[in-house]
Structure formats: structure tokens, C-alpha cells
Structure 1
Amino acid sequence: MLDSPAIDPRHFRQVLSAYPTGVCVIAAQDGEGRKHAMVVGSFTSISLDPPLVGFYPAKSSASWAAMAPIGGFAISVLGADQLAECQQFASRGMDKFGDLAHGATAAGHPLIDDALAWFDCTLEVTHEVGDHYLVVGRVQALDGQAAREPLLFYGGQYHGLGEAVTASPQPA
């Protein structure tokens, strides 16, 4: 493997902030009924056949350390009107669910009410990748409603989608 040049982590993060990401809550309930959750901006589709999705929690994430042994999780895709929910789940040291309205998947994993979309997953595989893990989930159930704007993270701030951009007609 070739050595890569030294990259300043702050500059790396700043450059990456030019790429907008959706915001999701990953949640799971353990066998004792405790609910665990974390916010991620790294959710992605991986495969259609089989249906696989993934995300990248930091190795230092206490939330992921609590969820990993459970063997499954739910993903709630947040809408632009769910910033308060995002901030609640991004906090540390408090009951992240509190009085927040939520349901559960057939497997018992928490789902955020009124999420734009949700996925119920079993843990397929986890790979170590640098200072993060790549977590791959096999989708067991899903649903969505695309009528609202998604919550986006861009340039170090949260945003809605904004106006649609359409392509100019190509000359004949």
C-alpha cells in the first residue's frame, strides 16, 4: 500500500463540507429494552440485490458500541422540519428519546415518527476503515414519503433542499 501525503484533518473536513449529506437517525433496542441512537450523515445505498445500505460510525462512538452487539437497527431519514429531533439525538448524556414521538419496526427498533423514510435492517457485516467502521445492513422492511424536503448538512450547517434546479434544454 502506498503512503499517502500528510493531510491536515481540519482542512480535510472543511473541503468535505462542500458535499451535502442527508441526515439520519440510526436506532436500536437491546434485549433489556434500552434504546440507543445516533445521528449520521454518512448513510448510503450499497446494493439493490440483495438490498444493502450502510453508514460509517466513528470507532470512538459510544452509541455504536452499544448498538453493534444487538445485530440490527432502524434508520430514520429526517425531514427539514425535524431539526429539533436531530439535535436531540446528536446530544450526549441524556435520554435521547425522552418524550419524542416514535414507533418501532417489527424487530422492535425505534423509528422516528414522521421520518421521510425508514429502513429496518439486520447487521450484515462491519469493516474497520481508518478511524471509522463501515456498517452494512440488510434491509428487511422499508417505507417512505417523499412529499417533504429532507434535512441536509452542508458547510457545517443544517439546510432544507431549496429550489429545484433543472437542466437547460439541449440544442437540437
Structure 2
Amino acid sequence: MNPTPGLAPSPAAPPAELLRRTLRRHPSGVTVVTVPGPAGFTATSFTSVSLDPALVSFYVSSGASTAPAVRSAEVFAVHLLGADQERVARAFARSGVDRFADAEWTATAEGLPLLTGVPAWLTARPVQLQPIGDHLLVVGRVLTAGGPATGAPLIHHDGGFGTLAAATGPIVDTRR
């Protein structure tokens, strides 16, 4: 019996393929991470780590063209993209191009690029960089944040982009 309809067990598949195929079912918010240079990339691995102290994290592939800039950055920004910003997500996901060419952004005094028009952003100072597998984990202490925080988020799911409507009304407790 297959306990998970639609996801047939495949013990013969390599673990990386099993992970990829399984996680395609997990929706993720879409962000763009930027560092001075300017350099930046699209990431779906962004998450909060701690409230006290305020820490966030993301992963970048060790072989990514932006990895050296991320490793040497003294500050980074994470931009949470809105439902209408698929073009931005795709632009920062491409390699071998100037990702900032069509982006609207301003630079802080530290040279950190901040994208304009995003629903929310934050800046952080790296406090830990840890190689893990074929990626680099970056943990940062939150410094500043901003943005209107309105509108639906851009979501990555099953290899594509989409969105969801903001939850409205009271939260219903479904535990019974």
C-alpha cells in the first residue's frame, strides 16, 4: 500500500532526486538576497531563526556566481517579493547576466543594494557562515527592515511561480 497517494515510493532513485521531487510539493516564499557589489540572487531558502536575538538565514549554492560576494559581505538584504514580481524573481535567478540591469534599486551608505517596490525587506549582518553539503548557510542578525507589507506574496511551488490570497477573518481552530 502506498501511504502517500501521488508520490510513489522509489527506493531506486538517488536521494538527491527523491529530495527534489518531494520538496517540489512544499510551497516557499520567494526572496531576492543582495550584497554590496552589487550582487544578488533569488532564494526560496530564507527563514527566521530566532526572535531574541533577531536572526534570519538563507542558503546559497557554493558554486553560485554570487557565492564569493556573499562570503565576503559585511551586510546583506533580503527582499520579500510580491505576487506581481515574478519578473524580478526570474531576473535574479538567471546566471551570466547583469541581474541589476532592469531592477529598480538604491544603494545604502555601505553599498548594499535595496530593491524598490517590494512588499518588505530587511538588512542583516552575517554572524555565521557554515558550509553544509553543496551549499553555504548564512545566518544574520537583523539590523533594519521596511516596506509597505501589503499585497499577496510570490510563492514558488512545483517548479513554477504563483500566489495566494491573504488570509482574512478569524482563525478557526480545527482541532477536535
Deviation at 1:146, TM superposition (A): 2.7
Residue 28 in structure 1 maps to residue 31 in structure 2: no
Quick one: distance in 2 between partners of 1:171 and 1:52?
Answer: 31
In the superposition, the TM-score normalised over structure 1's length comes to 0.85
Which residue of structure 2 aligns with residue 8 of structure 1? Answer: 15
Structure 1 runs not aligned, ≥5 long: 1-5
Provide, for residues 100-148 of structure 1, a one-character-per-residue CA deviation record: whole Å limited to 9, x for no partner.
Answer: 2112345331111111111111111111222212100111101233321
Deviation at 1:67, TM superposition (A): 2.4
Name the SS for the 2:156 alignment partner: strand
Quick one: distance in 2 between partners of 1:80 and 1:28?
Answer: 23
Q: 1:139 aligns with which of 139, 142, 145?
A: 142
Quick one: distance in 1 between partners of 2:175 and 2:67?
Answer: 51
Using the aligned pairs only, state the percent identity: 35
* Residue pair 1:74, 1:105 contacting (<8 A) in 2 also: no
* Residue pair 2:38, 2:111 contacting (<8 A) in 1 also: no
Quick one: distance in 2 between partners of 1:21 and 1:66?
Answer: 24
In the superposition, the TM-score normalised over structure 2's length comes to 0.83
Q: 2:41 aligns with which of 38, 52, 57?
A: 38
Paired positions, count: 164
Provide, for residues 1-35 of structure 1, a one-character-per-residue CA deviation record: whole Å limited to 9, x for no partner.
Answer: xxxxx843222101011111111111111xxxx31
CA gap 1:111/1:9 in 2 versus in 1, 3 angstroms = same
CA gap 1:103/1:129 in 2 versus in 1, 3 angstroms = same
Structure 2 runs not aligned, ≥5 long: 1-12
CA gap 1:87/1:169 in 2 versus in 1, 3 angstroms = closer
Quick one: distance in 2 between partners of 1:18 and 1:73?
Answer: 29
CA gap 1:138/1:11 in 2 versus in 1, 3 angstroms = same
| Farther off after superposition, 58-67 or 161-170 | 161-170
Q: Which runs of 4+ in 1 moved over 4 A?
A: 165-172
Residue 120 in structure 1 maps to residue 123 in structure 2: yes
* Residue pair 1:44, 1:55 contacting (<8 A) in 2 also: yes
CA gap 1:121/1:167 in 2 versus in 1, 3 angstroms = closer
CA gap 1:99/1:14 in 2 versus in 1, 3 angstroms = same
